[in-house]
Chain A
Amino acid sequence: EPEVTQTPSHQVTQMGQEVILRCVPISNHLYFYWYRQILGQKVEFLVSFYNNEISEKSEIFDDQFSVERPDGSNFTLKIRSTKLEDSAMYFCASSEFGQGAHGYTFGSGTRLTVV
């Protein structure tokens, strides 16, 4: 069964450093997403991406965050200057259709720890 692949599975970084979280969506999917889950809290929407541009972003997704699809297979989330409160599990997802009723396929997540 096709998978969404995320790397690395765990990343530790120092406060103020830049991090790039990487995702390889399913090859025929056109819609891409990032979500995050701070420990003990809900999974929260960060951003959706379609046709090489952001289609929607949440209040969390401020100027410190950016997304990119640098080639035909990768989808990245960059945090420019990490803060302690950015520590969370970050999930990438992709879908063939934009309509939420079809559901997404999620990756296994990257646990980001900012120290």
Chain B
Amino acid sequence: GDSVTQMEGPVTLSEEAFLTINCTYTATGYPSLFWYVQYPGEGLQLLLKATKADDKGSNKGFEATYRKETTSFHLEKGSVQVSDSAVYFCALSEGYNFNKFYFGSGTKLNVKP
């Protein structure tokens, strides 16, 4: 069945450090891939998405590339800020089953000044 695996946290970085959060997926079809972010006390917000292989999603300095050959969608940011501290969720939605998302377990990011 479909599933998403992402690196366990927490990840602790200093401000301006480079961020990578790994995400790999298993899917039977051609999924769309997403990163959601949850800031403290808030809901899940769509951060970026990619709907087909080799697409790059980007937003707020974050980016992720849909790699079909490695079934990965790693999240990267060149220089993190304290305000990026949050929980990040990788997710997929299958093309043939539009109603359902499969989420990873979330990775907590702590950015220190």
Contacts and interface: CB of A to CB of B under 8 A. Distances in A.
Chains A and B are bound partners: yes
Interface of A: 3-4, 6, 31, 33, 35, 37, 40-45, 48, 55-56, 91, 93, 98-101, 103-109
B69 interface: no
Given A56-B99, A106-B44, A108-B41, A100 B94 contact: yes
A99 B98 contact: yes
26 contacts: A6-B43, A31-B99, A35-B103, A37-B106, A42-B4, A42-B103, A42-B104, A42-B105, A43-B89, A43-B101, A45-B101, A48-B99, A56-B99, A56-B100, A100-B32, A100-B101, A101-B95, A103-B46, A104-B46, A104-B101, A105-B43, A106-B43, A106-B44, A106-B45, A108-B43, A109-B43
B44 A98 contact: no
